[in-house]
């Protein structure tokens, strides 16, 4: 089982940035055995891209389920560290599907980031409350996503956050609002501009 994979967007991002951007995915919203993997999801469940396209294939779902089960074990951190050493990514996107489903799980990723200081880890998340009072490693970047049950916890003046724009004028609306477009280049999400815009398509 490949723990780190690369979707189409991340392949394009890697080429544009002369980087090696890989991702780790678990089931979107619910696992095959019915466990919620996105505990704070709300509006996003309606338009979740990770429940469409290739993500619906049975082999993809089985792979996500196996990764999810691995995250719950004590061996997850050392196994992931070994995989990172083997795959040599410059960046790891945590969850192109799924989310931090518990603080215990989040802490495992924090340890992985600390163990791999030369790799940049980043994630979009709606599990905002898990991050309050936690000091993250410098190589771990978090983007709070709108559409959660707890959007009120996002400090739009200070927090790196993502907003989805819709409609025929979405790109212009995004730019006019001062957001950086991360729809095609995923690494734009971790640039200096903490206002991350995504176009729904």
Q: List, for residues 9-20, the tens digit of each pLDDT value.
A: 999 999 999 999
Q: Is the pLDDT of residue 59 over 80?
A: no
Return the H-helix or E-strand segment holding 63.
helix 58-71
Cα separations in angstroms, 89 against 12, 71, 101, 146: 15, 19, 24, 28
The mean per-residue pLDDT over the stretch 47-75 comes to 74
Q: What residues contact 166, with CB distance under 8 A and at least 6 apart?
A: 199, 200
Q: Is the pLDDT of residue 182 over 80?
A: yes
- In the block, residue with structure tokens 């903490």: 194
Q: Residue 60 has what pLDDT?
A: 80
Q: Is the pLDDT of residue 28 over 60?
A: yes
Instruction: pLDDT band for 56, please (50, 70, 90 cuts).
Output: low
With 0.85 as the threshold, say if the pTM is over it.
yes
């Amino acid at each position: 089982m490949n723990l780190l994979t690369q979707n189409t967007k991340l392949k394009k991002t890697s080429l544009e940035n002369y980087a090696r951007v890989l991702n780790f995915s678990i089931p979107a919203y619910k696992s095959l055995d019915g466990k919620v993997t996105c505990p704070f999801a709300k509006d996003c469940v309606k338009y979740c891209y990770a429940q469409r396209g290739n993500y619906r294939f049975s082999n993809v779902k089985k792979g996500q389920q196996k990764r999810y089960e691995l995250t719950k074990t004590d061996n997850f951190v050392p196994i992931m560290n070994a995989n990172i050493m083997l795959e040599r990514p410059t960046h790891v996107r945590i969850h192109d599907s799924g989310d931090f489903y518990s603080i215990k799980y989040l802490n495992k990723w924090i340890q992985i980031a600390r163990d791999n200081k030369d790799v940049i880890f980043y994630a979009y998340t709606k599990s905002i409350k898990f991050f309050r009072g936690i000091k993250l490693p410098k190589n771990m970047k978090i983007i709070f996503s709108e559409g959660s049950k707890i959007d009120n916890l996002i400090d739009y003046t200070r927090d790196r956050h993502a907003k989805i724009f819709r409609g025929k004028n979405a790109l212009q609306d995004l730019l006019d609002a001062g957001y950086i477009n991360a729809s095609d280049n995923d690494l734009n999400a971790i640039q200096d501009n903490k206002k991350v815009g995504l176009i729904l398509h």
